[in-house]
A and B are shown apart, each in its own frame.
Chain A
Amino acid sequence: MDNILFGAVPYIAITIAILGSIWRYNSNRFSWSSQSSQFLENKTLFFGSFPWHYGIILILLAHIVVIFVPSLMLKWNGSPGRLYAFELIGLALGFLALFGLLTLIYRRLSNTRVRAVTSSWDVLVLIILIIQVVTGLGNAILYKWGSNWYAASAVPWIWSIITLSPKTAYIANLPLITKIHIFNAMVFITFLPFTRFVHFLAIVGPLKYLFRSYQMVRWYSRSAKTENLRQYK
């Protein structure tokens, strides 16, 4: 069972995510949007969107960074003081994200205007996210110290997936709640190209914005090269 769920499913998820993104990008770029609803309701959104995004982005960044430098994590956690500080910050960010997400769910259900622009895909998005945040917080609270065993067992498993030699043994003994967390992460990856999750893949634009010049000009009557972008000052 573990072999299927954590040996084969990751590849299916990643394949669907990549092919799905390419397919949607090429066939229907118009639908590639964050579908912001701030325009319809912006009071509750402040208490939902800000905590949610900043909490989850920092936690996700920590997950990703540790994949590449697990030894650094273990070294950092070598001293109890630093371990407590790290875990406490992580937990605080987790609750921040949970608070934000619950606010967003409440907003989506209670505000008639927002409900009017809610598709069933949006409901799926919220279900996936709430499962992920709750199981993540459960891990952190029930099984100490998550940052340690994430670096020691989950990261090697992730590397075994990346290097195309899946070894589910690394995570076979993890508690059920952790396995749900990992499996749900793969569900998230599967649905990345579908739903409004795509705005997660659109972060390239904003990052480019930091370095581009203010104004953009496009020409159509010049050569194919200048048809793209020409910038002035």
Chain B
Amino acid sequence: MDVRAQLSMQFNLDKCIGCHTCSVSCKNVWTTRQGAEYMWWNNVETKPGCGYPLTWEDQDRYRGGWELSGSSLRLKLLKGPGKLRTLANIFFQPNLPTIDDYYEPFTFDYDALFNAPAGDDQPVARPKSLITGEFMDKIVLGPNWDDDMGGSPLYASNDPNLKGLSSSQKELLTKFHKLFYFYFPRICNHCLNPGCVASCPSGALYKRGEDGIVLIDQDTCRAWRFCVSACPFKKPYYNWDTGKSEKCIFCYPRTETSQANACAHACTGRIRTVGVLLYDADRIEETAKNPDDRIVEAMREIILDPNDPKVIEAATKNGIEENWIKAAQNSPAYNLFKKWRIALPNHPEFRTVPMNFYIPPLSPILHQAKSDQGGTFDPETTDFFTDVDRMRIPVKFLANLLSAGNEGLVTESLKKQMAVRIYVRQQRVGDMGEAKVKAALSDVGLTETDAEDIYRLVTLGTFEERFVIPTTHREIKSTTDPRTMYEKRGIVGFGTKKKEFIGRQW
């Protein structure tokens, strides 16, 4: 057993309102530089939708992630003679997205508004490309271009997650009164088996041993761009100006000092929690090799119980400090993903063993007025609180997104969320009946304490309860960086020592 610690973020999709505050705070802190304008290390998508970059989940096109080849695990990018193919494609990568799959970064010609001579017409600010500096005819794409376009035949119907849905379920997309959509915030998953790290010919990408954050060493990156192709989540981005790739750094300068990540801290809906997981590094490969229907369970198995004395002993032996073990014991990540089993990973079938987890959203019961008028729901007689199958968002769609198509896991999570609601309603309103509460809880295997804890964490959780981030022990680091955070702003996470070197010089 090789115990390591991993920082993990969880997203309660049931509460995400799609306000993009997370994206904006991330952008303001990290990606305002030239070449990075188009990057959104944190972005929020409308699902169903094409996402950013367009159809990133379509691995027939991008060939990101891993696949099983016989009994071994190999990068999907490496079709044919293994790693040699990587090098063969080093001069031109067939699977690399281009800036047109994201969007051409733009600004507006604001000067025209201020300096226009007096005239009969309103002056206009035309869009201007931030790459070429030339005027653009029109803006054709943006980072959240299909925001709220849940019913759009152009965007929503091209969502790769719609695969395997019945035609009546797909029909929901086109009928305005049946339409469904929800928001899906994404950051880098800081995977246990990252495709980006495995694909880098320069060895510039690495996972940090102490907290599992995946970073790109900016001094070692040589712009071979394989990380962009190999990551199935398309979270490494190529900086077209510096000729280096960049990615979400999990705000490590903040988490190292116990501060919450910029995106999570700014979240107005308080949908995000951050915590520590202990996992067994010896079993990563074995976990990633599990078949689709087993992979989420295998991921739960590789996460170790932080209260198990054996695990604590092995962790201590591996140099994991006491405050980290303590944080793991109070971890919302452990509770949501493993203990209560209500959070699920994003696309585990890509086999990168992603370490961010999502609580699938509940949605209104689908109905067309009363059942005697052909509807499926009668508000006067139907029990509002139990029927997960009749929710608007098809379970199959959520399963494609969050559990490798395993509908049972999604249903389990939704039913548990329902049970908690029934429990709390009985406490507050008292019209459910104790028997029903007991039945609902025992049906999904939750105790009253669990229900109380889930309710507390996802609704009332204080800052300290939502973000259990232990301080990193930088004092035992072999090299110390004397610069203050203020001096390092804008260059933290880039490996380079001098700020004036950011940007292209040669």
Contacts and interface: CB of A to CB of B under 8 A. Distances in A.
A132 to B, nearest CB: 18
A31 B238 CA distance: 15
A41 B206 CA distance: 28
A215 B92 contact: no
B482 interface: no
B244 A49 contact: no
B369 to A, nearest CB: 52
Contacts of B506: 31, 35, 119, 121, 194-196, 198
A222 B319 contact: yes
A210 B87 contact: yes
Interface string B61-105: 000000000000001000000011011001111001111000000
Given A40-B131, A210-B83, A30 B244 contact: yes
Interface in B158-207: 193-194, 197-198, 200-203, 205-207
Interface in B194-249: 194, 197-198, 200-203, 205-210, 218-225, 228, 238, 240-244
Nearest to A194: B506
A10 B18 CA distance: 63
Nearest to B96: A38
Contact of A215 (B132, B193, B501): B193
A35 B223 contact: yes
B87 A209 contact: yes
Interface stretch (A160-168, A170-178, A224-232): A224-232
B207 A216 contact: yes
Contact of B98 (A33, A39, A116, A210): A39
A30 B206 contact: no
B505 A31 contact: yes
Contacts of B208: 217-220
Interface in A40-58: 40-42, 45-46, 49-50, 52-54
A218 B209 contact: yes
Contact of B243 (A33, A42, A45, A229): A33
Nearest to A100: B91
B215 to A, nearest CB: 8
Q: Give the interface SS of chain A, mostly helix, strand, loop or mixed.
A: mixed
A216 B215 CA distance: 11
Interface string B439-462: 000000000000000000000000
A206 B218 contact: no
A33 B505 CA distance: 10
A221 interface: yes
- Contact-size category for A: 35 or more
A221 B293 CA distance: 38
A71 interface: no
B285 interface: yes
Residue of B208, B221, B243 with most chain A CB atoms under a 10 A cut-off: B243
A209 B201 contact: yes
A37 B202 contact: no
Interface string A67-104: 00000000000000000000000000000000000000
A144 interface: no
Contacts of A49: 91-92
B209 A206 contact: no
A39 B244 contact: no
B504 A34 contact: no
Given A39-B99, A113-B131, A205-B201, A215 B496 contact: no
A54 B87 CA distance: 12
Contacts of B224: 34, 36, 206
B98 A214 contact: no
B243 A36 contact: yes
Contact of A112 (B84, B132, B240, B242): B132
Interface of B: 2, 75, 83-84, 86-87, 90-93, 96-99, 131-134, 193-194, 197-198, 200-203, 205-210, 218-225, 228, 238, 240-244, 281, 284-285, 319, 473, 476-479, 494-496, 501-502, 504-506
